[in-house]
Copies of this chain bind each other. A is one copy, B any other.
Amino acid sequence: MPAHDGETLIMMGEPSDAVIELRSGVARAVSYSSQGCRQVMAFFFPGDLIGLPLSQEHRYSAEAIGGVRFARHRPEWLDRWIGSENQRKASMSLAIWNEEKAFIARGLILGRLSVEARLAAFLRYLAGKQPISDGCFDFVIPQVDLASYLATSPETICRVLRKLRIEKVIAMPRKDCMQIMDGNHLARIAER
């Protein structure tokens, strides 16, 4: 099933009665605090399972960002999926761990002091998640979401991206297309 950009796939607080399998595109996990503060917690990529029934209710909303196609499964499907996966009794753990990795990644990225270091670390993370062709990878995440994810303002995201472009660390042939020109330099920036 395809999803419109911005479409909500699962809703925070609703009972966890469905698991989403992301087939293509990128989705975001969003947390809404009681005061209505919105925070992008993670991004999901093709192959990821979204909304594992770890608790009674979903702990975040999942929203389509760009080019999303997905499948919605009942929890029973998860049991079969796990069984089919080579009889490895660890595969539920694997699925959960995969989700956990996304959240840990955000923590580690946000642990840096400067926005530049955080953004550099995120771009390296993203490059490892996206298929790369001609040195470029899709960059469909709006800067507003990036700002929320990296705990900064959209204006700063824009400025830091420009700085990295000027320094020829990255290039953006199109707005939705990112190329890492100097991986070593990017790694150095990411280290504070």
Contacts and interface: CB of A to CB of B under 8 A. Distances in A.
Contact of A108 (B41, B55, B94): B41
Interface in A98-124: 99-100, 103-104, 106-108, 110-113
Number of copies: 2
Interface stretch (A20-28, A32-40, A161-169, A176-184): A32-40
A85 interface: no
A107 B103 contact: yes
A39 B93 CA distance: 25
A99 B104 CA distance: 10
Interface of A is mostly: mixed
A191 B37 contact: yes
A35 to B, nearest CB: 5
Given A96-B96, A96-B97, A192-B37, A31 B108 contact: yes
A33 B92 contact: no
A109 to B, nearest CB: 9
A41 B93 contact: no
Nearest to A98: B54
A94 B55 CA distance: 9
Contact of A59 (B31, B94, B104, B192): B104
9 contacts: A37-B191, A42-B107, A93-B96, A99-B100, A100-B100, A103-B107, A110-B111, A112-B151, A113-B151
Interface of A: 31, 33, 35, 37, 39, 41-42, 54-55, 59, 92-94, 96-97, 99-100, 103-104, 106-108, 110-113, 148, 151-153, 191-192
